[in-house]
Structures are given as structure tokens and as C-alpha cells.
Structure 1
Amino acid sequence: MRAVRFHGRCDIRVDEVEEPICGNGQIRPAFVGLCGSDIHEYLGGPTIVPVTPHPLTNEKLPTTLGHEFSGTVEEVGSEITEFRVGDRVVVKPNLFDGTCSNCLMGIFNCCEKVAFIGFSSQAGGLSDHIVVDSRHAIPLPESIPLDIGALVEPLAVAWHAVSRSPLQTNETVLVVGAGPIGLAIIQVLKVKGITSIIAVEVSERRGEFALALGATEVLNPVDVDAVMQIRALTGNAGADIVFECSGAQAGLDTAIAGLRVRGTMVVVSLWEHRPTVDTFAVVFQEKNVIGAALYDDGDFEAVIDEIASGMLCYYPICCPYFLIRQVPSADLFSDIGGIQPRPMITSKIRMDDVDARGFKALIEERDKHVKILVDISA
């Protein structure tokens, strides 16, 4: 079967590998999203992908990529009763040992040996078939198309990040960085009832997406003094909650400076280089800084419920306006409930094109794309 495997920095290949033998459950992937962490690995790795055998999975380079994906159950193990052949699912990709101190506290997303389907195991969504333990398969209702199902994982990251914050509905929230995770957080904030959402983004097109998906203000720090504008919009106080999603020093500086006294910053982004933190602002203004990693139990299900509630006739699957390239109007979504993530899909490609039209497109044409999906069946 085909599998997109990471062999090293800037080296991914569509390899022919042996088809896995079904254990607990075999899934045929349908759509796989390319993630910022995939790009970080491609450009600067291996970092997440292990060079030596991983302590949990015992796997190492080369590894099959793909951790944001939906699919259809093709085969089930003899002891599996909760799934049948033909069921549609999304896959929760984090792996954990269940025995470390964090896992014993029930915080499995912070496992000391955390591993991932699509990074630190030979299983990955960018393949014709994949075998996963049934506990990693989350049912996808018929009302949600499989391409939208591939967006559940990044939306679950956003759901968890928002859940980590002390959010109140009357607060002003700042989102720094309107990439896929920042845009997902904006959508989650909207369904949580937040009506004052400020986004800071250098890309004009991603700023337009932010407005369309729920932001009330978008500030481009290339054109304006973002911190000054944030203070002007908040009575000179600053935002109550900030989500740092840029992974850039300038973005982190804006997040801290734009946060009010005793406000809370949630760091969601991954960093290639260790940033500098303004500890004077943190100490003397008693600002809170917390992290958000992956997702808790129940986050996937909560996101699926919210997507299902937003799957209305306003959203025709066949309409090319929603499929590729066009930035939607904010008015189009103002009266629709739930999460409507389809506008995030800016391209669909075949597996054979994953390098040129996937990874390289996200690197060289970053402003044109939010989420590129790989259609495994194409």
C-alpha cells in the first residue's frame, strides 16, 4: 500500500509499504489535514519524530505522517463490539503509557512518554490503510462529511485551549496568530458566546478569514501599532484572555503587552526556538501564563456535536464557493449556530502531490492557505 513517510528534514516520500494486519480495528483514511507541526517537522526536524526508538512505541525514522484524519472502518478485531465495518470515524492520535505520574492523575495529554499516531508510530493517516486501537476511534455522525471530519482534531486542540482558560462570556479575548489553530479558537470562542474577539495577524487573507469566522476586530501589526489599538479597544486595560497561536517572538510580545493586569495568556503554539518572556510584565502586573497541550477526554465529542449543530443548508457541500480559495463573508455565518469549519479548507490534493502541492504550498504560499486536505481516495 502507499504511505507518505518522513525520512528527514525536507525529505518526504510516497513509499510502498506492507499493508498492516488488523488487530483491534483497521481504518481506511479518507481525508488527512496537513498541520503546522508537520511543517515544523519537515523544515526543522526530526524533533517530534524519533531518531532512536521511541520509549512508548519503539518506532523511529522513517515514519508515516498524518495525525488529523477521518476514515471508514474496514475491518474490526474479534473482541470489538462498539464499531462495525462501514462506520465513519475520526482518529484521536495521542498515545500514552497510562502509568506515569501524569497519567495516574488522569492527565493523559501530558503523558511523560507521549507519542502520536502520525509522528512516533508506524501508523499514520497518510496511508491507504491504518490499524488503530478502537479507543482512538471517535464515531462521526452521518450529518458530517468526511472532509469536515478531518478538521475535528485541530478544532479539539482549540476546544481544549479555550477550556483551559478562565473564560467569561462578557470578556474581551485576543487571539494572536490566525493560522489554522487561531482560526479554530476564534470559532470555539464564538460558540462559547464571546462577542468581543480581537485577532492579530500579519496575513491579509488570514485576517479576512478571522473576520468571517467570528473575530470582531482584526489588527495587522505591519500596518498599525497592535498593542496601542488593543488598549484603545479595551478602555486602555488590555484583553482579559489572550491565546498565543503565532509561535513567533513578536506575537508573544504582543500577547503579553496586550493582556490586562491579572489577565491570562494561554500559550497554544509550538516553538522552533525558545522565546524570551517579559517577566517584568508577568510579575509586576500579575499576569497569568498557562499552556494548553492537545486535548482531554470528551473534547473530540464536544467538537463533533458543535459541528453537527452547524451543518445546515447554508452550507452546500457541492458549492465550490465553500470548497476552495474564496474567503467567505462574515454575514453568511452570523445567524448560524455551531462550528462551521468548511471555509478553512483552502485546497484538496492527491497523496502523490503531497510534497509539491501540500508541504511546499504551505511554506511558499502560506498566505493563500489555511488547511490543505489530502484526499486519500483520489
Structure 2
Amino acid sequence: MPTISNKGKQMPESPIRKLVPFSEIAKKKGHKVYHLNIGQPDIKTPEVAMQAVKNIDLTILEYSHSAGNESYREKLSHYYTQQGIDVSTENIIITTGGSEALLFAMGSTMDQGDEIIIPEPFYANYNGFSTASGVTVVPVISNIENGFALPAVADFEKLITPKTKAILICNPGNPTGYLYSKEEILQLAELVKKHDLFLISDEVYREFTYDGDVHYSVMSIPGLEEHAIMIDSVSKRYSMCGARIGCITSKNKEVMAAAMKFAQARLSPPTIEQIASEAALDTPQSYFDEVISEYRERRDTLIEELNKIDGVVISKPKGAFYCIAQLPIDNADAFAQWLLESFDLNGETVMVAPAAGFYSTPGMGLNQVRIAYVLKKEDLIKAVAILKAAITAYNAL
């Protein structure tokens, strides 16, 4: 009997999606499930994007340019300039989501067996992208006690070996909601220049910052042009997760030439979704003002309610729409499955993402969960009340 590859065996399951079968069973029982497990916003997609799709006048769905439609890249370049990021169309390749942009970045900068340093906990699919690329993740641990701030540069430096090719960050962070300060970004910039590494920054949550804090992009740092690679996506910014449009951006010409070969190999990004994404760039600022205000209120509601549960440790997120909560339980994987299989409160239960899957260090995050505050405030209050009752019942077993 033929066997699958070792790479296939080593590909990690998604901690966000692996509990879906249990969620489906709970729903078949008639239970309502509050989904705190996945970053699927309930915010409406901007009307300009939806209208662009409705008004498409095409007779043939042709391939686009492998780098993406030039009109979209030009408009995207203008958008970045407004964000203080001076890039031109040749610095941008449109990808099938931020996921493909990360795969292109790894494929263009790393060989089999090379190493990438990532502060953990980190977006779980970084493990999958690294496995698919034959790259070894070297984690540097951040802690809930200090809000998952950037670990000391010395902690990064002692992990650098001849095989280290890059440092990868998510800013603001998924799953922690941490927003790196300008000082922290500059520290990493000096480190990658000192050791001749790439600094890959996943900035898909750029707009989602709270409390007056400002996002600082790696693409804004003078002298880092050959080192900086930015990953972006329309998924969260415009609540267009299903469009699967992202981009890889860099001023390093060799990186972009290599990424272009990967882009050519997969032919082109989706046509209709590029049209929608280009139109989305005309979204008025009022849309973002309302969305940020709504997420800030949701964050504050979630933190307030979680703090009512004895034994819960939580770090207040500064950006994105996630947080890590440390629960007074022994095993979040078992608890999350039990929530769906065996618990309900008046016919309702909750789905969370066990946080161990956001670490690559064995044994880390076993009693932590990631919560996405993408539900309306009333539902968040109900969901946390269910969580509180569930923790009491679970620990009494």
C-alpha cells in the first residue's frame, strides 16, 4: 500500500478548526454554539467592494498578471503611501491570501533545514507553512505576565545559528493582540542588520489598534530595505476573509524576483476577488472609525467579563481582535472538546481555540485558550457566562 510523505505526517492540525466536528455534533443536538474560536468578523464587508462584484461586466474570467492586476497594485501602492509606507507597484505581488504570501516569503528566502525565529505564541499556521517549506521554527517565548511583550533581544540573539535566515513577527499579534512599539521594531531591525537576516512582518491587522497606540511597519524603517518583507491581506481589514487576496511586499529586488517565480508557477491570483479588493480601497474612513470603536467596546466587554471568573489570567490586547486567556483548568484541549461534547447551559455552549497549538515549544499553553472577540457584545457576555459555569462544572468532575 502506498504511504504518504513524512511532510504530510508532520503537518500540524489547525487548533482553530480541529474541533469543528464536535461543534457540528453539538449543533445537531440543537445546541447554540458561540464561536470564540475563529477570527471571522461579523462586520459587514464595505459596500463599495460588494457593489464592484455586483457590477462586473465581464464575458471571460481571464488570468490576471501573475503579480496581480496592475491597477490594483498601483492603488495599493497609493494606500501604503498614505500609511507612511513608500512602495511602488514593483515592490508588490498580489497573492491568494496572506497565507500564500507567507509561503512565497519562506520559499524565496529559506532552504530545506533553514531556521526561522518566531516569538510564541504565534499564529498556528506558521507551523504549517514552515513544515510545508521544510523550515525549522525556533521559538522565543513571550509571557502572559508581561502582556506578551517582545522578548529581550538577547533571547533572540542566543538562538541565532548559521542556519537562521529570518525573524517572523505578527504585528498586531494573532493570537495575543500585542502591538509592538516603535522601539521594539527598531530593536529587531538592528538585530537583523547585525546578523544579515530577513525580518518578515505579518501586518494584516494594521488598522486594528486601540487606546491611541500607533502601528509601526517594518517597511517604514530607513536602511532596512534589503531585510524587510511585509505580509498583508484584505481578510480582516475589510471583513473579506473569503476573498483570499493578500500580498507580499519588499524593496529587496532579489526577494521579489524569486517570489515572482512562485507567483508564475501558480499562474495568477483570483480575478473577481481582485476587483473587489481594489474597490475596497475606496472604503471611507468612517467605516474604519466605526469598526475600531466597535472592536474596542467588544474587547473591553470581554476583558471585564473574564475578570469576573476566579483564577483566569488575561492580558489586555492592544490590537487585532484576539486575546489569550489562562484558565483554572489542567488541559485546554480536553476542556474545549468537553465544552462541545458534554456541556451546555440552557441549550448553549462555547467553542474556543486551545492555545497549545499556537506554541511550538512542547508543554506550553496547556491551560490557555485563544478567544476571538468577533461577536457582538451581548453574545460575548453570554459566552463568558457559559464559560464560567463550564469551568466550575469541569473542575467538579
Give TM-score scaled by structure 2 length. 0.32
Tell which has more relative contact order, 1 or 2 (C-alpha 8 A, sep 6+): 2
Give TM-score scaled by structure 1 length. 0.33
Pick the structure with more strand per residue. Answer: 1
Pick the structure with more helix per residue. Answer: 2
- Structure with the greater alpha carbon radius of gyration: 2
